[in-house]
Structure 1
Amino acid sequence: MPESMPDTTPYPLLRELSGELGWGLAMVRAVVLQAAHPQIAAALMDDSTFLTHPWRRLHNTMVSLQRLFDERSEVREREVARLNRMHARITGVGADGAGFTAMDPEARAWVHATLFESTVAMRRNSTRPLDWAAQQQLYAEFRLLLAAFGDDPAALPEQLPHFWPYYERMLSERLEHSAAVDSVLHRLLDTVPPPPLLRSQRSAWVAVRSIAGPIAAHITIASLPPTFRDRVRINSTVLSDVLMVGAYQGTGLAALCLPSVTSPWALADLLDAEDDQQPVAAVFGALLRGASALTSVVRTVRPNAAATATAATARPGREAAAWPAERFFTQVLDQTGDGTLGWPDLASLAREVACRLDLDAEPESAVYAAFHDWWQELSTALDADGDGVITMQQYVDGASTLPTPALVNLADVLFDATDSEHSGTISPEEYHRLLHTGFSHQLATTPDGDLTRAAFTTEFLHFMAGHRPDPAWEQLTADS
């Protein structure tokens, strides 16, 4: 019998271009354009952990892309199925009273359209434009990817020449200036926390970010299509244009000279470092402190800028609070950062667990159901006014008397999901998979290296009830 041929990725050009440093700029640009679509804007604002946990979101996105572009068809198909299940759960009612769903066909096609056009713009702005044949190939790959998700590829025009009129119509007629657009352009870029590798350099990070955040916003705005800027009334200045040209050409030069060092995949591996005391962390910390010193003159002239940036990132209770229940509420439960606890917060935790453990449909559903049962238990006990959310004060007042049956069941479900070998204990490797969030983890195992179900449940209950902080479980919900 002839040997079976190995699989090859059906997205070779897309995988190649997504490995360039400038693709990070293209991704931010695309997210702004996506956030202007009414369906996507509503979903982002209702499920806004991308603002409170950007590094975790980046890590998950990079892992997902690696799976989607994998040469093995079973890996690609498994990831597509996982993403479809995740998006099917993102539904709700927006601030305007209109319903939204992440499975909306037009919105899903628009995501692919913005990624394609932003990738083309990335190369054009970096003075290495794609020729017509490459653009056609890239467009065909995006339509193929859209079909792989089960969507009708006809949602995007079949031929590339017909794509551009469709794109202009979307920009000028369908998109809106939304709170989600402003959140990406300003709140996200101005308040992004330090990556895990640089957590020990928080003060230097805040100082640099007070300058770098507005610059990043200027670069993104200048790169947006003029039709879109006119539609949403966002102006680009001459300074913005200069900064944008420098940023794109700089990343293009870096991609040519140091492709293996500056690719998003290489940078993600660097940020994936688990110990902020490593030599590489010390080097980046020294560079960050140097950059911080350079901003001192600007901060002297504009003293309120750094103070505003610092205040914007400092969520109440982020540092050790005198009241453990307050600290637990802020750091663990309030995933969306809006000051209240609702189902979207616990759904975010369920989604994070399912993603990092790469669960199949059945155990994933069990995890979501267990978190939902706990939400019902919490809301029955604490949501006295019946408004569908729990405030910090409501939680603090009732934390000591909370019921626990649903929480015990959640511990059992998580143990079964993590114990992939069905050994009856969780090994350090399995525990690592559960706790490795966004680029950092911290193990807290029993002396023999494994956790029994009873030991796992005890630690989990103490932490999730807010009785005491636990470094390991805090990694589950860190702002990495």
Structure 2
Amino acid sequence: MDDASRPDQDSLPGPGSVTWEHFAAAPGVFLAGTGLMLQVAHPVVGAGVLDHSEFKDRPWKRAWETHLSTMRFVYGLGGGAHAEGRRLLELHKDIKGVDRTGRRYHALNPEAYAWVHLTLARYMVDTAKWFGDPMTDEELEQMWQEFRAIGLALGIKQHHMPPDWASADAYFDEVVRTTLEANQSTTDVLTALTEPKKPIRYLPTPLWKLFAVPAGSLVRLTTVGTLPPVLRKRLGLSWTDRDQHSFDRLATLVRAVHRRAPGPLRYAPLAYGLMLRERLAQRRPARPSEVASTRAA
């Protein structure tokens, strides 16, 4: 997509939008693993990650880079969505090959590229559903239109994104039912999430295990618990009544804490800083030069 066909900066979501209010909600950390699993279960994405990603060997670095990318195209970090779109297209253009079953793949396959974008929208919806206040129908529709604008800025063509949230939600269910699969990447990602590697090489292993073992159990609970049941079954992941009870108790606790938390604790730190910067910029009095320019116009 050329720049002329992309939305201008003013049409992208900003302060007060549904996307800004929901995307970086702090409880989203519990859904990060779910989003990754939904993405790599797509045959094209899974093959690309298996052959070209460093996630398995350097999961912390890869997770941070992904976080920064979303901050760019959602909250305008750096050059914003348009610049990030160009960077992502360049980054993915050479990620291609043949998977283990002989199927050819390319990371810029339009369907797969749009699928990743849809999982990010679903991530917002499910975070609100499980750990906050579910979005209203109006909020869902506004969010999706905002996310379609972001998608256009990232290089996704309009006809590869459903026109409304009802269609997007139905398409999500269809892809889960007919396309997603168990593959080596789903195994690797779940292992990386539930058996996290030390972020610092020289951190004593016994000390790391004091954190890693309970953290891995928690991530497995929230990741497996929020996967679509049909995909959970396809991946061979067990889920018991006891697991469900534990998940429900956790969700109730997180929901209560999040509702009462002060602003800085309700969002991911970097996102909150960017949101605060924009709010302050909107309140800033116009400089004399800006006033003169406006009068001249």
Task: Read off the aligned partner of 1:128 and give its amino acid letter.
Answer: D
Moved more, 73-82 or 23-32: 73-82
Determine if contact 2:31/2:123 at 8 Å carries over to the other structure: yes
Q: Name 1:245's counterpart in structure 2.
A: 248
- The partner residue of 2:237 within 234, 239, 245 is 234
* TM-score normalised by the chain length of structure 1: 0.50
Moved more, 72-81 or 236-245: 72-81
C-alpha distance in structure 2 between counterparts of 1:173 and 1:95, whole Å: 19
Residues 268 and 134 from structure 1, CA distance in 2 versus in 1: closer, same or farther, beyond 3 angstroms? closer
Residues 213 and 33 from structure 1, CA distance in 2 versus in 1: closer, same or farther, beyond 3 angstroms? same
C-alpha distance in structure 2 between counterparts of 1:199 and 1:262, whole Å: 32
Q: Name 1:136's counterpart in structure 2.
A: 141
Residues 201 and 130 from structure 1, CA distance in 2 versus in 1: closer, same or farther, beyond 3 angstroms? farther
Task: Read off the aligned partner of 1:261 and give its amino acid letter.
Answer: L
Name the Cα RMSD after superposition.
2.7
Q: Name 1:117's counterpart in structure 2.
A: 122
Q: Name 2:113's counterpart in structure 1.
A: 108
Partner-residue secondary structure (3-state), 1:80: helix
Residues 123 and 75 from structure 1, CA distance in 2 versus in 1: closer, same or farther, beyond 3 angstroms? closer
- The partner residue of 1:60 within 62, 65, 70 is 65
Moved more, 102-111 or 120-129: 120-129
Partner-residue secondary structure (3-state), 1:89: coil
- The partner residue of 2:152 within 140, 147, 150 is 147
Residues 73 and 206 from structure 1, CA distance in 2 versus in 1: closer, same or farther, beyond 3 angstroms? closer
Determine if contact 2:161/2:168 at 8 Å carries over to the other structure: yes
C-alpha distance in structure 1 between counterparts of 2:75 and 2:126, whole Å: 25
Determine if contact 1:125/1:248 at 8 Å carries over to the other structure: yes
C-alpha distance in structure 1 between counterparts of 2:34 and 2:47, whole Å: 18
Deviations 1:73-119 (A, max 9, x none): 95332221111100112112212222211101111111122222232
Matched, 1:160 2:165: yes
C-alpha distance in structure 2 between counterparts of 1:243 and 1:221, whole Å: 12
Aligned length: 262
- Summarize the alignment of residues 328-343 of structure 1 with structure 2, pairs less than 5 Å apart: none
Q: Name 1:204's counterpart in structure 2.
A: 207
C-alpha distance in structure 2 between counterparts of 1:191 and 1:231, whole Å: 21
C-alpha distance in structure 2 between counterparts of 1:72 and 1:35, whole Å: 26
C-alpha distance in structure 2 between counterparts of 1:18 and 1:220, whole Å: 18
User: How far is 1:170 from its partner?
Assistant: 0.9
The higher relative CO (CA closer than 8 Å, separation ≥ 6) is in 2
Determine if contact 1:222/1:241 at 8 Å carries over to the other structure: yes
Matched, 1:263 2:228: no
- Summarize the alignment of residues 319-468 of structure 1 with structure 2, pairs less than 5 Å apart: none
Partner-residue secondary structure (3-state), 1:51: coil
User: How far is 1:267 from its partner?
Assistant: 9.9
C-alpha distance in structure 2 between counterparts of 1:70 and 1:219, whole Å: 26
User: How far is 1:201 from its partner?
Assistant: 5.1
Task: Read off the aligned partner of 2:269 and give its amino acid letter.
Answer: W
Residues 254 and 88 from structure 1, CA distance in 2 versus in 1: closer, same or farther, beyond 3 angstroms? farther
User: How far is 1:137 from its partner?
Assistant: 1.1
Determine if contact 2:71/2:271 at 8 Å carries over to the other structure: no
Q: Name 1:192's counterpart in structure 2.
A: 196
Q: Name 1:444's counterpart in structure 2.
A: none
- The partner residue of 1:172 within 169, 174, 177 is 177
Moved more, 61-70 or 143-152: 61-70
C-alpha distance in structure 2 between counterparts of 1:60 and 1:73, whole Å: 13
C-alpha distance in structure 2 between counterparts of 1:189 and 1:74, whole Å: 30
Which is higher, the Rg of structure 1 or of structure 2? 1
Stretches of structure 1 that go unaligned for 5 or more consecutive residues are 1-5, 270-480
Identity of aligned residues (%): 24
Task: Read off the aligned partner of 1:51 and give its amino acid letter.
Answer: K
Partner-residue secondary structure (3-state), 1:92: strand
C-alpha distance in structure 1 between counterparts of 2:26 and 2:53, whole Å: 25
Partner-residue secondary structure (3-state), 2:31: helix
Partner-residue secondary structure (3-state), 1:69: helix
Determine if contact 1:136/1:160 at 8 Å carries over to the other structure: yes
Matched, 1:221 2:235: no
User: How far is 1:136 from its partner?
Assistant: 0.7
Residues 8 and 112 from structure 1, CA distance in 2 versus in 1: closer, same or farther, beyond 3 angstroms? closer
C-alpha distance in structure 1 between counterparts of 2:18 and 2:271, whole Å: 20
* TM-score normalised by the chain length of structure 2: 0.78
